Amino acid sequence: MVAQILFLVLTLAAIALFTVNLRKIIRNIRLGKPADRQDQPQKRLMTMLRVAFGQSKMVVRPIPAFLHFFVYIGFVIINIEVLEIMIDGLFGTHRIFNGLGGLYNFLIGSFEILAFTVWVSCAIFLIRRNILKLKRFSGVEMKSWPKSDANYILITEILLMSAFLLMNAADAKLQLLGASHYVNAGAFPVSQYLINILPSSESALVIVERSCWWFHIIGILAFLNYLPYSKHFHILFAFPNTYFSNLEPKGEFTNMASVTNEVKAMLDPSFVPAETEPGKFGAKDVTDLSWVNLMNAYTCTECGRCTSVCPANITGKLLSPRKIMMDTRDRITEVGQNIDKHGAEHQDGKSLLDDYISREEIWACTSCNACVEACPVNIDPLQIIMELRRFAVMEESQAPGSINAMMGNIENNQAPWKYSPADRFNWAQES
């Protein structure tokens, strides 16, 4: 009874804490500017099913795709087991679903195989990061916390799977001993090999089984609450992020409606623009970005596929699209914390541009869309870079000198080079 109450309290506390943090993140995302991503619901749904559920963009790199698939499918399916653990924990039952008979054995057997493949995949991931030191996982933005974060996640998953398998092994041994409360249920294709390393006394086995059971469920609850602080948040946000992703051709950049009004008024003095709220052009800080950009930042799992295909980064420039996303998340988190501590009106005098992302980074981008194409969850770092450029150019007139010269030429000669408009048709005369 005490165990059941403890279980209930722990579960409720974990869910409550997670809800509080999740709501804060949703509030932070809503600090972004509006963006219409409600159109074409069917196409959006299909995109989500294909890219997030179907992992279609992972297959470009087969080895991590294969390993990630095991971890993903393991996560989704082993969670059915969590449902049983929840019911058992609340009602003091043991393996409540064993009434399913053959199906139950099949399920438990499958979970064990999946748990094993998750275990192995995570171990290989750890080796790739820490021993093989793959280039994709390094970079200026991958020091300290982001580096540890990745390792914590992998180690936690290995521990959770170990506890699950050890729990089953102890359970299986108790079933063999005919211990009361331990009904004959389940198939143990993996944990049967662990039986021999366990003690043989019934009381010791019960301690092992119960410890692993508690470790497993407390681990899951703790992991749930780790998500909001971690890159691992993608396991939840990948779904809305792909649903609300851009459906238009990647080459198309949004036309700023506020500018359209001004340009129309300049070309036609009789034009009366519709009322729009005065705001700044482009983005200096995260709150000038759209909510989609901010959701992108929370979704990023820092895999570095974007950076590894970025022509600027490949050739040694400072720009890293992954860093753009990580900076955006760090800054919106900071803005959120400021609101929690000092109220909504507080200004800390910092901004995304300059305090997090430098001018050198934004001016290194070729707008080639390789980063957008590479992202397995449809994140768009390019849009953030363009918004920062818009601010630098339109609010501050702070573009590199040669860019200013190019724009001056367009204004004066209608071409980015210094040629006379009268000579535009000369190509037809020569041959």
Partner 1 sequence: MAELMAAGEEPEILFWVGCAGSYDERAQKITRDICKILHHVGIKYAVLGTEESCTGDPAKRAGNEFLFQMQAMTNIEVLNAYNIKKIVTGCPHCFNTIKNEYPGLGGTYEVIHHTQLIQDLINEGKLKAEGGESFKGKKITYHDPCYLGRGNGIYEAPRKALEVLDAQLVEMKRCKSNGLCCGAGGAQMFKEPEKGNKDINVERIDEALQTNPQVIAAGCPFCMTMLSDGIKLKDKEQEVKVLDIAEITARANGL
| Binding footprint of partner 1, residue count (CB under 8 A) | 70
Residue 202, CA atoms < 13 Å, CB-side half-sphere: 9
Name which of residues 275 to 304 contact partner 1 (CB under 8 A).
Answer: 281-282
Name which of residues 222 to 251 contact partner 1 (CB under 8 A).
Answer: 248-251
For 110, residues 6+ apart whose C-beta sits below 8 A from its C-beta are 77
Among residues 75, 207, 400, 412, the one that binds partner 1 under rule CB under 8 A: 400
Nearer to partner 1, 147 or 317 (CB): 317
DSSP string, 167-231: HHHHHHHHHHHT-TT--S----TTGGGGGGGS--SHHHHHHHHHHHHHHHHHHHHHHHHHGGGSG
Nearer to partner 1, 148 or 426 (CB): 426
- Dihedral of CA 76/77/82/84: which sign? positive
Among residues 36, 39, 252, 277, the one that binds partner 1 under rule CB under 8 A: 252
Q: State whether residue 416 is helix, strand or coil.
A: coil
Name which of residues 158 to 217 contact partner 1 (CB under 8 A).
Answer: none
Nearer to partner 1, 89 or 282 (CB): 282
CB of 299 to partner 1, least distance (A): 21
DSSP string, 14-80: HHHHHHHHHHHHHHHHHTSBP----S-HHHHHHHIIIIIIS-TTGGGSHHHHHHHHHHHHHHHHHHH
Nearest in space to 404 (alpha carbons), one of 396, 233, 424: 396
Nearer to partner 1, 334 or 395 (CB): 395
> Largest Cα–Cα distance of the chain, in whole Å?
99
Per the document, the length of the chain is 431
Among residues 91, 106, 229, 419, the one that binds partner 1 under rule CB under 8 A: 419
Name which of residues 359 to 398 contact partner 1 (CB under 8 A).
Answer: 360, 363-370, 372-374, 386, 389-394
Name which of residues 33 to 62 contact partner 1 (CB under 8 A).
Answer: 60
Q: Contact between 311 and partner 1 (CB under 8 A)?
A: yes
- The CA distance from 159 to 18, in Å, is 21
Q: Which stretch binds partner 1 (CB under 8 A): 93-101, 199-207, 234-242, 423-431?
A: 423-431
> For 132, which DSSP code?
S
Q: Contact between 340 and partner 1 (CB under 8 A)?
A: no
Nearest in space to 81 (alpha carbons), one of 207, 233, 220: 220
- The packing angle between helices 202-226 and 2-30, to 10°, is 20
Radius of gyration for the chain, computed over Cα atoms and rounded to the nearest angstrom: 27
Nearer to partner 1, 72 or 363 (CB): 363
Nearer to partner 1, 34 or 249 (CB): 249
Among residues 38, 203, 270, 431, the one that binds partner 1 under rule CB under 8 A: 431
Angle, alpha carbons 304-310-311 (nearest 5°): 155
Q: Contact between 218 and partner 1 (CB under 8 A)?
A: no
Q: Contact between 65 and partner 1 (CB under 8 A)?
A: no
Two tokens, residue 369: 């869309």
- The CA distance from 82 to 146, in Å, is 28
Do residues 312 and 366 make contact, with C-beta atoms less than 8 angstroms apart?
yes
Among residues 318, 334, 336, 355, the one that binds partner 1 under rule CB under 8 A: 318
Q: Which stretch binds partner 1 (CB under 8 A): 36-44, 96-104, 128-136, 413-421?
A: 413-421
Q: Contact between 319 and partner 1 (CB under 8 A)?
A: yes
CB of 195 to partner 1, least distance (A): 49
List 353's β-bridge partners, or say none.
Answer: 357
Buried/exposed code over 140-177 (b: 16+ C-beta within 10 A; e: otherwise):
ebbeeebbebbeebbebbbbbbbbbbbbbbbbbbbbee
Q: Contact between 256 and partner 1 (CB under 8 A)?
A: yes
Among residues 267, 270, 278, 344, the one that binds partner 1 under rule CB under 8 A: 267
Among residues 19, 253, 271, 342, the one that binds partner 1 under rule CB under 8 A: 253
Nearer to partner 1, 81 or 380 (CB): 380
Q: Contact between 16 and partner 1 (CB under 8 A)?
A: no
Residues that bind partner 1 (CB under 8 A): 60, 248-253, 255-256, 259-260, 262-264, 266-267, 281-282, 309, 311-312, 314-319, 360, 363-370, 372-374, 386, 389-394, 399-400, 402-403, 405-407, 410-411, 414-417, 419, 421-428, 430-431
